[in-house]
Every structure is written in C-alpha cells, then in structure tokens.
Amino acid sequence: MQSPETAARMLQLAADAAVSKGGEDLVALNVSEPLPLVDIFLIVTGNSERNVAAIADEIEDKLIEAGHKRVRREGRTEARWVLLDFGDLVVHIFHEEERSYYDLERLWKDCPTVPIETASPVAGE
C-alpha cells in the first residue's frame, strides 16, 4: 500500500483528467476503513458511452504517465461502467443511468468524502 499522500496525488491527477474530458459530478470517498487495500474511490459521470470511454482513457493515461501502475480495468468495451483499479485509488466512471442505478454513494454512505479541487465544480459544492 502506498502513502495517503500518494493516494491524494493520484486522486488529483484522476480528477483533473476526468474534468478535462467532460466528467461530471465527481465524488471521492475515503474507503480505507472498510477496505484496507484501497484508500479512495473516485466516482465520475459521463454523458454517453463515448464520453465514459474518453474519461477512462484520459485518467488511465495520466496516472500511467505519472508512474502509477494499473492493477485492473473492467468495462471499457461497453463503456457503461468502467472500473480502473490503481491499487490505493479505484476509479468508477459511470454512464448517467448506471450511476443512478448502482448508487455507490448510498452503498458507501458511511465513508467520509475526500475534497477534490478542480477547475470546475464537483458534486456537493
């Protein structure tokens, strides 16, 4: 496991990449208490399959460029819910309908949110 500071830097890189490709309603949750192998979930919404794929690709590119290793990627083909696992940071990029249906924020409601600073507003601000 990396340091919390590393997870925070990864979160910032991923959030900036998501926003640059039109990602909306970004929410970061500190899941380190219930999930000892993961520090942060980042949840992002895209407005179409193409947008979801573009957001996922940009996040993946930026994190790999920064030297972080992707552990797993799922859902890229359908691009309705793409999961990018970078160890301490797991990114969920949802199409609007899937985000509403799976409602990860409700499932992880006991986990504190992590502030995200981006050029455009994120959910809850």
CATH of the domain at 9: 3.30.460.10
pLDDT digit string (tens) for the chain, length 125 residues: 456 688 999 999 999 999 999 999 999 999 998 988 889 999 999 999 999 999 999 999 999 999 999 999 999 999 999 999 999 999 999 999 999 999 999 999 999 999 998 765 455 44
113 part of a folded domain: no
18 part of a folded domain: yes
User: What is the distance between the alpha carbons of residues 32 and 40, in angstroms, rounded to a whole number?
Assistant: 7
User: What is the distance between the alpha carbons of residues 58 and 85, in angstroms, rounded to a whole number?
Assistant: 14
* Short-list 98, 95, 76, CA closest to 22: 95
92 part of a folded domain: yes
> What is this structure's pTM?
0.90
Residues 6+ apart with CB under 8 A from 27: 42, 43, 105, 113, 122, 123, 124
122 part of a folded domain: no
User: What is the distance between the alpha carbons of residues 73 and 56, in angstroms, rounded to a whole number?
Assistant: 9
